[in-house]
Structure 1
Amino acid sequence: MGEKMNVALLGVGRWGTHLLRNLLTDPQTRVMAIADPCSDRLSALATTLSCRSTEQEPLLSSDWQSVLNLPDLDAVIVATPAVTHYSLIRSALEQGLHVLAEKPLTLTVSEAQELCQIALQQQCQLVVDHTYLFHPAIQRGRRAVQAGQLGDLRYGYAARTHLGPVRYDVDALWDLAIHDIAIFNNWLNQTPVQVQAQGSVWLQLDTSLPIATTSTGLSDLVWVRLTYPSGFQATIHLCWANADKQRRLSIVGSRGTLTFDELAPTPLTLFQGRLEGTDRLFTPVDQHHRILECETIEPLQAVCAHFLNCVQANSPSQISSGWVGAELVAVLAALTQSMEQGGVPVDLLP
């Protein structure tokens, strides 16, 4: 590989646009090509790129296969609808290309695991863009939890709600839950052993939708419960039809609560205190809270830099590898099974 990593971006929708912004400003990356089936997007992008002073403007194409066949290409970034991930990522890996993929890695566990095996065989790096795992507040929170600052961990809760964006390819579970599950897994250093989910549909009552649906369509509201090997339980509220925008997650322990509130000016707060009991009377004591300071870096920028480092060292990601992505797909698949069966608990294999 030369001094710069030659990359191609597949998909310039809402998230692909953010990825492109970071790739174009990375001094160690050269964007060779951009592929998207939407001609209007490509036309708008051509106008934007023509205003930049670059060594060479990227090739714009509606044919992703021709982009993958470009000589000297080192890696691809996949930011296309989830239903297309498996075929695109597999084609890239089989051609010896490193891959950074938008979440979820795939829509089935078997496909996700297969991609991880292909990456291993091809000696290619497969990294999944679980952006929150690169958020400075999440990384700082993990250190606090693992250091025992909360005492004995008891339970967790999270809410991720807003009015849209409404997806047409996956439901609110597959679109939103993966963020909070990834954070809980990361902070606890565990993966769930049992899950439950219940969903409600209002907007897309279309039983012909082929993937990630309940029997009545794409769920707009989903309630999730996760049970971990330690007995810790977490509840997650997900909805893309709720005007009350929330991006909040907490873990409660015997000595305090750690809260990540993405919408707050200072997102990570440690609330400390405990209940002291005498003669069946419980009194709050040692109450105080403090803001946990974090670095100021855009998480997506950190994702791109991490992917570049993995490729340069040809070393698997220790934060968000394909295997991490496959674990999260397994949790989502089990939650979908639970939702389709009316919320019954579903066990996950260890």
Structure 2
Amino acid sequence: MPAPQEAATSTPLGVAVVGAGYWGPNLVRNFDAAPDWDLRVVCDLDADRAREVAGHRAADVSTSLSETLARDDVDAVAVATPAATHHAIALEALRAGKHVLVEKPLADSVPAGREMVETAERLGLVLMADHTYCYTPAVRKIRELVEEGALGQILYVDSVRINLGLVQPDVDVFWDLAPHDLSVLDHVLPGGLRPLGVAAQGADPLGAGSACVGYLTLPLAGGAVAHVHVNWLSPTKIRRMVIGGSSRTLVWDDLNPQQRISIYDRGVDLVQQSVDSADRRSASISYRLGDTWSPALPEQEALAAMVAELAGSIRERRRARTDGRSGLRVLSVLDAAATSLRARGALVTLEPVEQPLEIVR
């Protein structure tokens, strides 16, 4: 007979998915398939759409958020609605005592995101950002390699996320595409995404009303720099990140399933040499041309790992791997980018995101 704690953790948690639009069906499918979860409700203002997404599953269909949150069999709520609604829905769910998972971005403004984070911490509830890429085998491996020092000191990051469409009516290309790259940087960089500032350049050559092409420059501590290129107008689709280190360079090509990660033992070494008594220095440059290798990666759906992480953080009363503070750091960069755009690309400093309180509920 299992111990009481083991029996408790083997009982599935109840979840409601709020929003049956673009991302909601993916959440419904993964929560329904996960042994940690019982899908209780699919909630959407459009009842027909909610019924279609629920399909043959045993989950109930609802058009009322308040009725969904009043249910005792719902432990957590997954929010997959437009960003402008995240704040209100998440706060209502948290105040109803529910743990909350929120689709990217966390909110549509830093004050809204900060209130969500502080409310969850005050109530001892899990607030988790659905930064899906952080749960892919490739990104988890990148984090492992960075943590173990395989790349050495991080010198630069160059990330490209470009494709043809879809031009969004309510957000620019930064808010649509850059959260993916920024969340990955927050996940793999030592200490998370804490740039010294943000400079953004954007263009709207179509006259769509917001930037369709954009570039973010993020100076990092120690002289490193991260650069993110996002574009809705490219005829080719590219998902590539290069992380240059003092020892090795890593290339992540997400569209290459046979070789998503490549490690290059190649780089530049700079040797400083004193040349006179005033200690002026000249640089001696040498190039390393070593081997290239690719680690084997398991096949696992990122969303399956993400919903398992949500259950684990709730049961173990710990912060989620992509907690609300992670979402707030990404949101802070997006907000600073918008300010930089209005200032014609000027470098904008960020307010630090404080360390979270521990979940003690």
Give TM-score scaled by structure 1 length: 0.88
State the partner residue of 2:239: 247
Aligned equivalent of 2:220, options 228, 234, 246: 228
- CA–CA distance in structure 1, aligned partners of residues 172 and 303 of structure 2: 23
- Cα distance between partner residues in 2 of 1:275 and 1:42: 55
> Could you tell me whether the CA contact under 8 Å between 1:172 and 1:220 is conserved in 2?
yes
- What amino acid sits opposite 2:72 in the alignment? P
- Does residue 187 of structure 2 align to residue 194 of structure 1? no
Specify the SS of the correspondent of 2:296.
coil
> Which consecutive residues of structure 2, in runs of 5 or more, have no partner in the other structure?
1-7, 272-281, 353-361
Matches within 5 A, 1:43-58: 43-45=51-53, 48-49=55-56, 57-58=58-59
- What is the identity, as a one-letter code, of the residue corresponding to 2:78? I
Q: Could you say what secondary structure the match of 1:23 adopts?
A: helix
Conservation of the 8 A alpha-carbon contact between 1:81 and 1:169: no
- The whole-number CA distance in structure 2 between the counterparts of 1:114 and 1:230 is 31
**Structure 1 residue 294 and structure 2 residue 297: aligned?**
yes
- 8 Å CA contact 1:256, 1:271 repeated in 2: yes
| More moved, 186-195 vs 268-277 | 268-277
Moved more, 252-261 or 144-153: 144-153
Correspondence list, 1:249-268, <5 A: 249-265=241-257, 266-268=259-261
What does the per-residue CA deviation read over 1:104-125, in whole Å, with 9 as the maximum and x for residues that have no partner?
1111111111111111222211
* Match of residue 124 from structure 2: 123
Computed over aligned residues only, the root mean square deviation of the Cα atoms, in angstroms, reads 2.2
Letter in 2 for 1:311: I
Q: For 1:1-350, what aligned pairs fall within 5 Å after superposition?
A: 3-45=11-53, 48-49=55-56, 57-190=58-191, 191-203=194-206, 205=208, 217-265=209-257, 266-275=259-268, 284-317=287-320, 319-350=321-352
More displaced stretch, 298-307 vs 32-41: 32-41
Distance 1:95 1:134 in 2: 28
Structure 1 unpaired stretches of 5+: 206-216
Distance of 2:310 and 2:125 partners within structure 1: 12
Distance 1:4 1:72 in 2: 10
Deviations 1:169-195 (A, max 9, x none): 322101111111222233222411111
Contact 2:25–2:53 (8 Å) recurs in 1:
no
Aligned residues: 331
Give the direction of change, closer, same or farther, for the CA distance of 1:276–1:196 in structure 2 (3 Å limit).
Answer: closer
Deviations 1:260-283 (A, max 9, x none): 111012211101123478999966
Q: Is the 8 A contact 2:204 2:212 kept in 1?
A: yes
C-alpha change, 1:203 and 1:14, in structure 2 (3 Å) is: farther
**1:90 aligned partner, one-letter code:** L
Q: Is the 8 A contact 1:82 1:169 kept in 2?
A: no
Q: Give 1:234's aligned amino acid.
A: A
C-alpha deviation, 1:154, in angstroms: 1.9
> How far apart, CA to CA, are the structure 1 residues paired with 2:98 and 2:283?
64
Q: Secondary structure at the match of 1:346?
A: coil
The answer to whether the 8 Å contact 1:83/1:169 transfers is: no
Contact 1:225–1:233 (8 Å) recurs in 2:
yes
Cα separation, 2, equivalents of 1:172 and 1:276 = 37
1:45, CA displacement in angstroms?
2.9
Contact 1:223 1:238 in 2 (8 A): yes
SS of 2:105's partner is: coil
Q: Distance in 1 between matches of 2:351 and 2:89?
A: 28
TM-score, length-normalised on structure 2? 0.85
Aligned partners of 2:123 and 2:288: how far apart in 1? Answer: 57
Q: Which runs of 4+ in 1 moved over 6 A?
A: 276-283
Question: Using the alignment, how far apart are the partners of 2:187 and 2:319 within structure 1?
Answer: 17
Within 2, Cα distance between the matches of 1:118 and 1:329?
Answer: 17
Question: SS at the partner of 2:92?
Answer: helix
Percent identity over paired residues: 32
**Aligned partner of residue 347 in structure 1, secondary structure:** coil
Q: Is residue 186–residue 330 contact of structure 2 (8 Å, CA) maintained in 1?
A: no
